[in-house]
Chains A and B, each alone.
Chain A
Amino acid sequence: QQQVKQSPQSLIVQKGGISIINCAYENTAFDYFPWYQQFPGKGPALLIAIRPDVSEKKEGRFTISFNKSAKQFSLHIMDSQPGDSATYFCAASIEGTYKYIFGTGTRLKVLA
C-alpha cells in the first residue's frame, strides 16, 4: 500500500516529441504528488506537483495529469529537448507529513 510504481524505467524520445512517464499508487490517503528532476551527479529538484482536487496542472512544457479513480498520475513533457535528459522521479505523500514515497525513477534521453 505504500508503493509508488513508476514506468517506464527508461525512455528515449526524439527532440520535439512528447515524453510521458507514468506512476500508480495504492494508498488512497495520498494527497500530494510531486515530480522531481535529477541530472547526473546532482540532487533532485522539485519540478512540479499536483493535488487530487485537480485533474491537470501545467507549468511551461511540463504537465501533470491526475486520474483519481485509477490512482494514477503522469508527467508529460511537451516539445522535449536534449536538455530535458535526466532522471525523473514521482512521489506521493500525505500533505502535512514528512513521509514521501518515491517511485524508482525514469531515465529520459532526448535525442538531438
Chain B
Amino acid sequence: DGGITQSPKYLFRKEGQNVTLSCEQNLNHDAMYWYRQDPGQGLRLIYYSQIVNDFQKGDIAEGYSVSREKKESFPLTVTSAQKNPTAFYLCASSVRTGQGPAFFGQGTRLTVV
C-alpha cells in the first residue's frame, strides 16, 4: 500500500541532544512537508521540499534542519537549538509542488526529558 511512514512513533530525547525523525513515502510525490502540532494550535510548517536537493524554511524553522537526498525520504533533525521541542511532528506529501499537504504520516511524538 502506498503511503507515508514516519518513525519512530514515540521518541524521547535528553536536553542538549540532536534527534532525527524519519519520513519515507512510496507515493512518488514530488513535494514533502514537515509540520509541528501543539495542543490547541493549528499545524505549523517547519520545512518543505518541492524537489530533490531543494528545500525551503517554513514559519518555524529555527532549531530544525532537513535534507532531501532522495525523492522518497525527507528526514527532520531537531537540534539542541530548538527551545521547546516537545511536540507531535507530522510529515506530509503532495503529488506536485504548490499543492499543499494531501497525505500525512501517522506522526512522531517527541518528548524532551
A residues lining the B interface (CB < 8 Å): 4, 6, 9, 32, 34, 41-46, 89, 91, 93, 95-105
Contact = CB atoms under 8 A, between A and B. Distances in A.
Counting chain B CB atoms within 10 Å of each CB, which of A6, A34, A98 scores highest?
A98
28 contacts: A6-B42, A9-B40, A32-B100, A34-B100, A42-B106, A42-B107, A43-B91, A43-B106, A45-B103, A46-B101, A89-B42, A89-B43, A91-B42, A91-B100, A93-B100, A95-B98, A96-B98, A97-B98, A98-B31, A98-B56, A99-B45, A99-B100, A100-B100, A102-B42, A102-B43, A104-B40, A104-B41, A105-B42
Nearest to B48: A98
B94 to A, nearest CB: 8
Interface of B: 4, 6, 31, 33, 40-45, 48, 50, 56, 90-92, 97-107
Given A41-B107, A43-B105, A44-B90, A101 B42 contact: yes
B104 A100 contact: no
Contacts of A46: 101-103
Given A9-B40, A41-B106, 16 more contacts: A41-B107, A42-B106, A43-B6, A43-B90, A43-B92, A43-B106, A43-B107, A44-B43, A44-B90, A95-B98, A97-B100, A98-B99, A104-B40, A104-B41, A104-B42, A105-B40
A100 B107 contact: no
B42 A98 contact: no
Nearest to B6: A43
B42 A44 contact: no
Contacts of B41: 104
